[in-house]
Structure 1
Amino acid sequence: MAESAVSLVVDRLLSLLTQEVKLLEGVRDELVDVKDELEVIRAFLKDADSKAEKEGIGEGVKALVNQIREEAHRIEDVIDDYVLHVATPPDYRRLGIASQIKDIKSSLLKIKNRSQTFNFISSNEGASCSSSSNAGRGLMHHPRLSSLFCEEAELVGIDSRRDELISYLVSGVSQRKVIAVVGVGGVGKTTLAKKVYDNHRVIEHFSYHAWITVSHSYDKTELLRSMLKGFYKAKNEPFPDKIVKMEKDEELIGEIREKLRQERYFVVFDDVWEIGFWGNMELALLDHDNGSRILATTRNEAAARFCKGSSSVHVHRIDPLPQKEAWELFCKKAFRFQSQGQCPKDLEELSHEIVRRCGGLPLAIVAVSGLLAVKEKSVQEWKKVIGGLGGSAMTSDPYINNVTSILSLSYGDLPYHLKSCFLYFGMFPEDFSIKRRRIIQLWVANGLVEEQPGMTLEEVGEEYFIELICRSLVQVDEVGVKGVPKTCRVHDMVLEVILSKSEELSLCHVSSSCLTFEGIARHLSISNRGSNPPKSSTRSQTRSIMVFDKAMLQKATVRVIFAKFKLLTSLDFEDCPIDHLPKELGNLLHLRYLNLRNTDVEELPRSIGKLHNLESLDLRFSLVKELPVEISDFPKLKHLLAHGGYATGLKIKGSFKHLEFLQTLFTIKVEDDVSFLNDGLQVLTKTRKFGICNLKREQGGYLCTVLEKMTSLQSLLVYSVNHQVEILDLESEFSPPIQLQSLWLGGQLDRLPNWISKLHNLSKLILSYSNLMEDSVEVLQALPNLKSLVLFWAYNGERMHFEGGGFQKLKYLYLAGLDYLNEMLIDEGALPLLERLQIGPCPMLEEVPSGLQNLRCLEVLSFAWMTNEFNQRWSQQESQISRHVRIHRSDGTYDPDDKASIRAWEERKFGASKHWFG
């Protein structure tokens, strides 16, 4: 990591020395000397960084590496401070820059002299399976993707445990029962509980169900609110605003009791630590004597038995895996890409020793086998791993120390460019669901991603992300339609290792405030679960701040952020109830990333125009409707995201002439002035994701001209000005971008545009209010890579026929608002991979679709707002057709006189398009 920090600073120095920045007399020469010294020191660092992670190496090596990293950060601060003051003359503090640089130069000379006593040599050791070796491959073509995201059902020995727990849930006494899954950290409690929770028998047995993550430090009010969210989600009902605003526990408890009434419920409390936790929850979860169940996972059996005073309790202890099952799991993971999952003969003895040291803990086995999966299959490499485990792992608690030892070893084995990226996960709270795009953009903004020829920094960052998943250090949380992970998590024990390393390196710190904390860490996370100041500190300035405080931020905290931390490169307020940004925002001249997603901010200060280094601005689901004209002069802006729903966009004043580097522009609002399309968007040739709304019919041709120049475009949304009436005219002689993968068209179509049939890479298609007829289905079913199709009030045909051989890769099909449909046919061989089918409202459809039994991969089947006649026929056929379907839901009955309910359902499903496009 020190080598990464030095490389970053060398690049910054080169940039500064080659730019036309007015340097004070003597400063240029001193900076050249510093650059030269850093380049010499960099030659020592790969070997030093590697040695510093290995057990038995003296503390002197670690201290030396830390000193180098500190000086690298310090010189970066001096450079940025200098640039800051050059930009805001007159400033007499500039005169002290030269003396600071001389001091740093002197420190570097001393470090270089000390480093020579360790006889370091330049080395590439530890960089095996670097994602940089795969440069240019791209995320979508990663050869491991097909095996990476298989569910953890691969964990051996889980089926019998799952079935046993399910029997406790769906049978037995009618009184409320608590099932406690107890075991040490890393033994697989959460994985087992999730398999039970997602099982179709469980889903069908209980009217309401909710999954609640508890962890060490929990907020009772938020847990109660999360429980209610789960109950509403189980019924596909909108979550009322009044509950969002409730702050009193007794109000939330009352809502839960009213919601459940006499209904049978199932609630999972994952990762319970506190003995008195149940006392905080039992008032809400009444015993209706109807077979309701609660499942809790915990490392503390005393916490499980505490429930006995008011409930029947069954303790289900999970022990570490026996040797046979541990070996099976190890081989599946370590050799998943070679040897057909079998251990080569020459590695068997060493592999058995590695498995033995894992103590039967699945987390440890998965971690160490993930490490080995990316290494050369040789005796030498296997011996290095055993040597890294050492003998101290079996002291104190043999299980916990063993896992910690293995996770630390996995961290030490990471290539240099991945270590800082991995530790950045420490900025997020425990059990937090982390968006892939968010973490990658934060890496980029903080200079943690190395440039690779032929790739954007975001593409390189996605390679890093996949590499961490390969090594089982990051767990996939949610997978998108394209088979790519959308969100991820880190296990709480992995997070402990991250936070420990971060504190040692003064890299990341989680705090409850920033009022008194300055110079404590390179990156600062502010959370109501934050800790006291760490023991270690840094001479360098804080460069990134993330805020996770759900309560209204104090204005003093906001003022401090903008007053104290003037060298920030990233600032993230996502989901915080902040409603104002001060004009001092314009003082953060080095800011590259600003995230205001889902905040209450209504207006951006005009001082934002000073942020000429800004690369990413996220305003999605904020209250900002218009950008100041100054935003058009951002020469480095790459990502501008702003929308509050599927047909809403951001009004932008000014020109786009300086925004030629934009990769993401989603979504903007078209004005009456045609020049906005004819000239204003012509520079956007590098755009990959583009959304535009408020389009008039006569503007369609101009838009097509713009789109033809976006040769790298992958995602496109186009909505007409009044999408239920206005024609969306995109039929002119148009050659669509061949790389287009996601497309959403909203508006009246005379017919399906011919160019859609040419989109051979299209995997996701959403059409709204499109007036399609039966011939359109014939075109769509021939698209070779289509995986997701949504028709939302978009089909006017009376008959829909899915022919054999059609939609060969489709996995998700949603048909809503098919007002004239009265017959649906599914041939044998059609939709062979379909996993999820949602239909309705369909006010004219009375017969169950013919051929549903042909959908052999179907897992989820859902009908919404269907007629009484349809529902009656379905009830007669349901037992035969849904035998192999994991989940079946029915949501409401169609009533032509109840327009308000249908409109509310429509808005709930499509109004806030967070899960539909992106």
Structure 2
Amino acid sequence: MADSSVSFLLDKLTWLLQEEVNLQRGVREDVQYIKDELERHKSILMLADSLEDKDPELKVWVKRVRDIAQDMEDAIDEYYLRLVDHQQGKIKSSYHKIVFGIKTMKARRKIASNIQGIKSKVEVISHRRPIIPSSSSQRLSSRLDSQGDALLLEEADLVGIEHPKKQLCDLLFKDESNRAVISIYGMGGLGKTTIAKQVYDDPKVKKRFRIHAWVNLSQSFKMEELLKDLVEQIHILIGKPVPEAVERMKSDKLKELIKDLLQRSRYLIVLDDVWHVNVWDAVKLALPNNDRGSRVMLTTRKKDIALYSCAELGKDFHLEFLPEQEAWSLFCRKTFQGNNNSCPPHLEEVCRNILKLCGGLPLAIVAISGALATKGRSNIEEWQIVCRSFGSEIEGNDKLEDMKKVLSLSFNELPYHLKSCLLYLSVFPEFHAIEHMRLIRLWVAEGFVNGEDGKTLEEVADRYLKELLNRSLLQVVEKTSDGRMKTCRMHDLLREIVNFKSRDQNFATVAKEQDMVWPERVRRLSVINSSHNVLKQNKTIFKLRSLLMFAISDSVNHFSIHELCSSTGVKLLNVLDLQDAPLEDFPLEIINLYLLKHLSLKNTKVKNIPSSIKKLQYLETLDLKHTCVMELPFEIAELKRLRHLLVYRYKIESYAHFHSKNGFKVAAPIGNMQSLQKLCFVDVDQGSGALMVELGRLTQLRKLGIRKMRKEDGAALCSSIEKMINLRSLSITAIEEDEVIDIHDISNPPRYLQQLYLSGRLEKFPQWINSCKNLVRVFLKWSRLEEDPLVYLQGLPNLRHLEFLQVYVGEMLHFNAKGFPSLKVLGLDDLAGLKCMIIEEGAMKGLKKLVMQRCGSFKNVPLGIEHLTKLKTIEFFDMPDELIMALRPNVGADYWRVQNVPTVYSTYWRDDGWDVYSLETFGERESAKRTRELPTLWKV
């Protein structure tokens, strides 16, 4: 990624030239020269990712550019570090300026010397700048733009093809006169082109659509050539020669001609491998809606193209990965063709492990099977080597080259900033589910995210992440109950390819094996399992910008961050992520990392943060979640750039305990930290009046969590909340279970508020909540309201998850028709007085999960529950026997109300554990002795 290295450097060079930096004579001109030359080289670097594998000379030149860019960045950062070191005291007078100038003389001489040396290297690479003919890039693009799925997969390779093929045929034959679009999308290698071709070649399809044409697209296609190809195919079908004038026609005329040719016939046009929305926008103008039941079928790797193309009238069809059994069947058929398609027993374990690495991707299974089919079946060691060294097997096996090309195509097509973001995922361990917000904060700290007007860097990074998901380069592992992504990961095979590119371009180094081959220099280092192999390394140049640790198995006595910091070059670190490391004390070496932007000590046993934390003036994220920190020093308020301050831990298992979470105390003027976007969870019981006013100065807050609130502080908090115009998430917990949360006086609530969590007494329902139309989550606990809270909530148009715990003391809850139009999850817990629930037809029409627990008076089945046609799961925990008996399959009086719900569970607390019973097999124990944690989704 030389182009991204250069782009990051250009930003720093711009700073060096624009800021009033006291450089020595001639240095500014040298910096300008370097900047201008690197700008000239960017056009080549943009093509280099695709070309350097085929051009060894270019690859060497690109490496030199990358090294020079990194050397220059080091020179600037080391100079900047010296400035920061000397600026720890403020420059207040001309005398101080003179002293500062003398102190930094050595630093200015050093950077002058470094820049002169770098300028000489830039002059050399500029004279040797390679020339890349435009035809070269076009030839490469055409090679890469092969329809990989179609070339490498046959119908026999797609196990279970009949079902999706029938679904697509049904859509083609659907009795609708309008032109409809069917978009097939998914990751490269799933067989999109193959299945589309099978449908297209079906004799019944050909018979139904007199005019049918298949158009192969590529990233480098020309619109006029595409349209001419379509004209030619149509003329062949209608038996007429192609007019000579077609060769001279421009796009507009060609579209008019095609539209005229298709106007009077039912047609099927397939657009294979669409990469850009504007392709569909251009082509669709030539495809008339002739009210004859015409169809357009489109394949793409991008979800947004699929949804966009069929938005008016059509259907998006997401091709899924093969289930385990179907994947095994395909693997055995392709690997053991001479053995009745069955795997020898002694190879089954290793083969299933290899298959797991294919992740249900048909292209990968077929390609790996072809490579394994030539191996001897008596020597299990050969097969185990393939399993252990899967990544190197992909790179070194010619039989897997085509598969690699198909999977690499999506990466090569990415813009450089998204390439950097995707390559960064190589620092995470295999099979690691990556937290959504952790990844975003890391991208921002690394400098991968470009600023956009009106958006925070985190919002831009979130868009980057969604774009990678949209391009089928990432997969969602876990979602929150309101539909947001919680964790994600790469497909295993794509991960191997990304890992190879990361190593090849020296983007990041992963240290997890004792005998690993180290590169000459390391800038981003991921340490997995143990830090010992890093400490032994003395031949590599460490000038680290990022140090991340995962699953460190070292004991507290053997893990030494001091030794690690002193033996490696860490003084220029921007990112230090020590999550889960065996730490009990805050490492004081961190205080000297003046350029640090991201510091995570999450899940460590650190107890105290020193007052010297104030030296980290560039810190943007301080993640102390699930540590033992309970108080922050006064000096924390001096971190003016801090954007994310996360300090809390859960201290007992059950969410239903009022004091289930610890926050932190702070006596500092927290209002000075005006860059804060996330602040949670701060204890406000000490100095609460002044602290509530201070919160009102934090107008950039997106997430606020406060604990131990007193009733008398309600008015001040309401005033502050009104000033938080960017607030998305608000969590308030009273000082005790019976303490009233007085937050009624909010006349202008945050318009973007999406999540609201209130724990404590409510004398009346805060009616301003009814005006928060963007709310997607509302959790209320210990409110003890006498009025039905549903009256104020069921009109919220976007509410997806609602949880009540001791919220209502009344006997009846009434869900009105058309109420809760978007609700997916409803949880009702410990509503002791509740006896009746009425659900009118049309209420909660999208509800998928209903959880009721510990409602001792609720003995009758909810009236109208049969109207919830989308309901997938009902869970009852410690509910009266009368209710459960009424729902017994076939014999219960109200079984008919829930007979179409796929899963209905009843759970009871027995002998210090939860016993779970399925009502479908009433009386049979499903699982025994679960944890004491109540099974619900209360954690914020």
Asked if these proteins are the same fold (TM beyond 0.5), I'd say yes
Deviates more, 1:498-507 or 1:69-78: 69-78
Aligned partner of 1:661 in structure 2 is 675
Aligned partner of 1:325 in structure 2 is 195
Q: Is residue 586 of structure 2 the alignment partner of residue 585 of structure 1? A: no
Q: Is residue 578 of structure 2 the alignment partner of residue 544 of structure 1? A: no
Partner Cα distance (1:329, 1:651) in 2: 65
Aligned partner of 1:258 in structure 2 is none
Q: Is residue 714 of structure 2 the alignment partner of residue 700 of structure 1? A: yes
Aligned partner of 1:81 in structure 2 is 78
Distance 1:906 1:670, change over 3 A: farther
Asked whether the equivalents of residues 707 and 736 of structure 1 are also in contact (C-alpha less than 8 Å), the reply is yes
Asked whether the equivalents of residues 693 and 717 of structure 2 are also in contact (C-alpha less than 8 Å), the reply is no
Distance 1:11 1:398, change over 3 A: closer
Partner Cα distance (1:25, 1:320) in 2: 59
Task: Report the alpha carbon displacement of residue 725 of structure 1 after superposing the two structures with TM.
Answer: 0.5
Instruction: State the SS of the aligned residue for 1:345.
Output: strand
Deviates more, 1:887-896 or 1:814-823: 887-896
Aligned partner of 1:494 in structure 2 is 494
The amino acid that maps onto 2:769 is: I
Q: Is residue 14 of structure 2 the alignment partner of residue 14 of structure 1? A: yes
Match among 575, 584, 587 for residue 580 of structure 2: 575
The amino acid that maps onto 1:802 is: F
Matches within 5 A, 1:857-872: 857-872=870-885
Partner Cα distance (1:590, 1:526) in 2: 21
Deviates more, 1:610-619 or 1:80-89: 80-89
Distance 1:695 1:35, change over 3 A: farther
Aligned partner of 1:766 in structure 2 is 779
The amino acid that maps onto 1:689 is: K
Distance 1:125 1:860, change over 3 A: farther
Task: Report the alpha carbon displacement of residue 116 of structure 1 after superposing the two structures with TM.
Answer: 6.0
Aligned partner of 2:462 in structure 1 is 462
Partner Cα distance (2:768, 2:932) in 1: 30
Aligned partner of 2:859 in structure 1 is 846
Instruction: State the SS of the aligned residue for 1:543.
Output: strand
Task: Report the alpha carbon displacement of residue 588 of structure 1 after superposing the two structures with TM.
Answer: 0.8
Aligned partner of 1:149 in structure 2 is none
Partner Cα distance (1:835, 1:766) in 2: 18
Matches within 5 A, 1:487-886: 487-512=487-512, 520-528=521-529, 541-551=543-553, 552=555, 555-563=558-566, 564=568, 565-645=570-650, 647-722=661-736, 724-875=737-888, 876=892, 880-886=896-902
Larger radius of gyration: 2
Q: 1:800-858 CA deviation, whole Å, 9 max, x = no partner?
A: 11121111110111111111101111111111000111111101111121222111101
Task: Report the alpha carbon displacement of residue 464 of structure 1 after superposing the two structures with TM.
Answer: 1.0
Aligned partner of 1:60 in structure 2 is 57
Aligned partner of 2:120 in structure 1 is 106
Partner Cα distance (2:29, 2:810) in 1: 72
Partner Cα distance (1:159, 1:667) in 2: 53
The amino acid that maps onto 1:325 is: I
Asked whether the equivalents of residues 801 and 825 of structure 1 are also in contact (C-alpha less than 8 Å), the reply is yes
Q: 1:699-755 CA deviation, whole Å, 9 max, x = no partner?
A: 011001111110011111011111x20000011253211110110011100111110
Instruction: State the SS of the aligned residue for 1:476.
Output: strand
Task: Report the alpha carbon displacement of residue 634 of structure 1 after superposing the two structures with TM.
Answer: 0.6
Instruction: State the SS of the aligned residue for 1:908.
Output: coil
Instruction: Identify the structure with bigger relative contact order (alpha carbons < 8 Å, sequence gap 6+).
Output: 1
Partner Cα distance (2:898, 2:828) in 1: 19
Q: 1:17-67 CA deviation, whole Å, 9 max, x = no partner?
A: 44455x4534xx425522442234224323433244137742222222222
Aligned residues: 690
Distance 1:852 1:550, change over 3 A: farther
Aligned partner of 2:907 in structure 1 is 891
Q: Is residue 244 of structure 2 the alignment partner of residue 376 of structure 1? A: no
The amino acid that maps onto 1:870 is: L
Asked whether the equivalents of residues 556 and 584 of structure 2 are also in contact (C-alpha less than 8 Å), the reply is no
Partner Cα distance (1:614, 1:111) in 2: 36
Asked whether the equivalents of residues 24 and 108 of structure 2 are also in contact (C-alpha less than 8 Å), the reply is no
Q: 1:77-108 CA deviation, whole Å, 9 max, x = no partner?
A: 11111122233356867643321121112112
Partner Cα distance (1:16, 1:514) in 2: 41
Distance 1:399 1:866, change over 3 A: farther
Task: Report the alpha carbon displacement of residue 599 of structure 1 after superposing the two structures with TM.
Answer: 1.9
Q: 1:96-151 CA deviation, whole Å, 9 max, x = no partner?
A: 33211211121122222222655799x99999xxxxxxxxxxxxxxxxxxxxxxxx
When normalised by structure 2's length, the TM-score is 0.67
When normalised by structure 1's length, the TM-score is 0.68
Asked whether the equivalents of residues 506 and 522 of structure 2 are also in contact (C-alpha less than 8 Å), the reply is yes
Q: 1:765-795 CA deviation, whole Å, 9 max, x = no partner?
A: 0111111245321111111111110111212
Distance 1:414 1:370, change over 3 A: farther
Q: Is residue 322 of structure 2 the alignment partner of residue 452 of structure 1? A: no
The amino acid that maps onto 1:872 is: M
Identity of matched residues, %: 33
Distance 1:906 1:841, change over 3 A: farther
Distance 1:714 1:323, change over 3 A: closer
Partner Cα distance (1:120, 1:44) in 2: 16
Instruction: State the SS of the aligned residue for 1:39.
Output: helix
Partner Cα distance (2:48, 2:800) in 1: 47
Partner Cα distance (2:500, 2:528) in 1: 18
Q: 1:154-183 CA deviation, whole Å, 9 max, x = no partner?
A: x9937979xxxxxxxxxxxxxxxxxxxxxx
The amino acid that maps onto 2:886 is: R
Instruction: State the SS of the aligned residue for 2:547.
Output: strand
The amino acid that maps onto 2:545 is: R
Instruction: State the SS of the aligned residue for 1:719.
Output: strand
Partner Cα distance (1:843, 1:795) in 2: 14
Asked whether the equivalents of residues 788 and 810 of structure 2 are also in contact (C-alpha less than 8 Å), the reply is no
Instruction: State the SS of the aligned residue for 1:521.
Output: strand
Partner Cα distance (2:467, 2:457) in 1: 15
The amino acid that maps onto 1:63 is: V
Deviates more, 1:604-613 or 1:400-409: 400-409
User: What RMSD over aligned residues (CA atoms) do the two structures have, in Å?
Assistant: 4.3
The amino acid that maps onto 1:887 is: T
Partner Cα distance (1:321, 1:478) in 2: 25
Partner Cα distance (2:30, 2:840) in 1: 74
Match among 17, 31, 35 for residue 34 of structure 1: 31
Distance 1:18 1:494, change over 3 A: same
Give the unaligned 5+ runs of structure 1.
Answer: 128-154, 162-190, 192-318, 332-342, 354-367, 899-903
Partner Cα distance (1:4, 1:349) in 2: 29
Asked whether the equivalents of residues 156 and 329 of structure 1 are also in contact (C-alpha less than 8 Å), the reply is no
The amino acid that maps onto 1:79 is: I
Deviates more, 1:871-880 or 1:567-576: 871-880
